Amino acid sequence: MTTIATTPFDDQKPGTSGLRKKVPVFSQPHYAENFIQSVFDSLDDYAGKTLVIGGDGRYLNRTVIQTAIKMAAANGFGKVMVGKGGILSTPAASNMIRKYQAFGGIILSASHNPGGPNEDFGIKYNTGNGGPAPEKITDAIFERSKLIDRYRISEAPDVPLDEIGIYTVDDMEVEVFDPVADYAELMEELFDFDTIRTFLANGFEIAFDAMSAVTGPYAKEILENRLGAPEGTVRNFTPLEDFGGHHPDPNLVHAKELYDEVMSEGGPAFGAASDGDGDRNMVVGKGIFITPSDSLAVLAANAHLAPAYKGGLAGIARSMPTSQAADRVAEKLGIGAYETPTGWKFFGNLLDAGKATLCGEESFGTGSNHVREKDGLWAVLLWLNILAMRGESAYDIVKSHWAEYGRNYYSRHDYEGIDTDAANGLMDALRDKLETLPGTTFGELTVAEADDFAYHDPVDGSVSKKQGVRIMFESGSRVVFRLSGTGTSGATLRVYLEHYEPDPAKHDQDTQETLAELIAYAEHIAGIVARTGRTEPTVIT
């Protein structure tokens, strides 16, 4: 092992989900090493303990995995567990950390962002509970990265990542394991595989798009091999370094082919897709795109139909911009409803403390207390378990959910790659207006409350401020403005729009038309066109 002198980079601040940068930034000499050493320097008492390492297979994955293994050895870890081929989905990594009581894990991914020599890469640290490091740790990592002057690395040769087995790097053991087996076993424990298998065998046709990303091998094994779905059910199942040149982002823009297929006559009854690192999901039923917010609410209302949740839920947590549909389910069930800032890490404490069982975000994330990350395939399996038990179509299940609880019309408008100063200026101007808003009217809308969301963690008492501007109307409608924390170029403004409609006679309207008044209000109050020069959003989900 050797100690290498280095100088700090000033841009290693972890965002919503770890450090994300373009590959050319990560490829600079010492860049990844500095960050990994900053992670290790921010942790205590890991000597001799186990570190889980894996990634979504994108460009640079293998290189940085070898670096991380050698640095773990030189820094005194006792063992590294690494997925074969460097592959490990984010939820599977969370499971490995928990199951094998590892000290923590390093996940290499930029999630749903594109991959390739000029695209995105990322490094994220997860703690011993299997979840993303809390802000206390990510802040410490950033502080350390600004001062770092050396890192430690072994000079041992590369580990043969493609051969399952036990190896050594200096004094440290390295286990290359099958990344799918433990995860598949966990899913079999949570869900009623026999019922789902029979349901599929009886002709319920599904399609799963792995988007040439990490979920391919997991979905193949679970849906086709274990649940008996016909070969070909899982598409784009080989993880590619550049995801085939696509955005591995399961939404109506990037998973349009799957959507069109499910909507077509004769197409499958149910379709699902997941993202680069396997933690996001999109679900569509014939005749209906199920928004992530609705998906969380419907899953929560029906979770008791799956073995793992038959005893009921302790509570439901959602990120602040996620629609309030899940809150209505929690209210009816008489269980806790929690509203957290954007970022899965905020759910960790609620899950650890047993306050929440199910969590979800509008950004196509759903999960439960089975791991400490959102979990794309898990959400698909819970849907299948519910569909199999109820014997109704996804369309009918969602429609009857709305009839019972009312419908939260919901949409997110993204303005990607806008000028950072313009974006900050827009948010500052909104914040300056907040106090004057309550009581003001716009068309039929009257502002009830307006604030910059601050979260008081009920478990550890920590406070996270400035998490997004919320404007709440007397009717229950909302507009939320926030800047994305996951982008790698410029800024992305997200505008979240929500309108509550209790009347079932009005549940078949077009979402954008129903939200038109709120959309106009958002422009009126934020001046998006004038400040960003954009006349329309880049992506609407």
- By annotation, the residues acting in catalysis are 111
Q: How far is the CB of 274 from ligand G6P (least distance, A)?
A: 12
Question: 237 Cβ partners below 8 Å, 6+ apart?
Answer: 210, 216, 217, 219, 220
- Verify binding: residue 361, Zn ion, rule CB under 5 A: no
Q: How far is the CB of 106 from ligand G6P (least distance, A)?
A: 16
H/E element holding 86?
strand 79-87
- Verify binding: residue 362, Zn ion, rule CB under 5 A: no
Instruction: Report residue 174 as tokens.
Output: 């390295």
Query: Which one, 111 or 274, has the nearer CB to ligand G6P?
Result: 111
Q: How far is the CB of 104 from ligand G6P (least distance, A)?
A: 17
* Number of continuous H segments (helices) and E segments (strands) in the chain: 18, 27
Return the one option of ligand G6P, Zn ion, none that residue 485 interacts with (CB less than 5 to 8 A, by type).
Answer: ligand G6P
- Verify binding: residue 111, Zn ion, rule CB under 5 A: yes
> In terms of Cα–Cα distance, which of 214, 228, 132 is closest to 180?
214
Instruction: Report residue 332 as tokens.
Output: 């009816």
- Verify binding: residue 279, Zn ion, rule CB under 5 A: yes
**Under a CB-based contact definition with an 8 Å cutoff, are residues 420 and 428 in contact?**
no
Return the one option of ligand G6P, Zn ion, none that residue 17 interacts with (CB less than 5 to 8 A, by type).
Answer: ligand G6P
> In terms of Cα–Cα distance, which of 40, 35, 37 is closest to 12?
35
d(CA 259, CA 267): 10
- Verify binding: residue 89, Zn ion, rule CB under 5 A: no
Q: How far is the CB of 373 from Zn ion (least distance, A)?
A: 9
Phi, psi for 168 (deg, rounded to 5) = -130, 145
Query: Which one, 34 or 363, has the nearer CB to ligand G6P?
Result: 363
Instruction: Report residue 185 as tokens.
Output: 């076993």
DSSP 3-state of 163: coil
Query: Which one, 191 or 364, has the nearer CB to ligand G6P?
Result: 364
Comparing every residue's Cβ against Zn ion, the nearest one is 111
Q: How far is the CB of 509 from Zn ion (least distance, A)?
A: 31
- Verify binding: residue 120, Zn ion, rule CB under 5 A: no
Query: Which one, 88 or 430, has the nearer CB to Zn ion?
Result: 88
> In terms of Cα–Cα distance, which of 138, 133, 56 is closest to 93?
56
Instruction: Report residue 435 as tokens.
Output: 């106090």
Query: Which one, 111 or 154, has the nearer CB to Zn ion?
Result: 111
Return the one option of ligand G6P, Zn ion, none that residue 277 interacts with (CB less than 5 to 8 A, by type).
Answer: Zn ion
**Under a CB-based contact definition with an 8 Å cutoff, are residues 77 and 103 in contact?**
yes
Query: Which one, 278 or 315, has the nearer CB to ligand G6P?
Result: 278
Positions in the binding site for ligand G6P (CB under 6 A): 16-17, 111, 319, 342-344, 361, 363, 365, 484-486, 494
Binding segment for Zn ion among 166-174, 211-219, 278-286, 485-493 (CB under 5 A)? Answer: 278-286
Residues of 200-225 as b/e, b for ≥16 C-beta within 10 angstroms? beeebbbbbbbbbbbbbbbbbbbbbe
Residues interacting with Zn ion, by CB under 5 A?
Answer: 111, 275, 277, 279-280
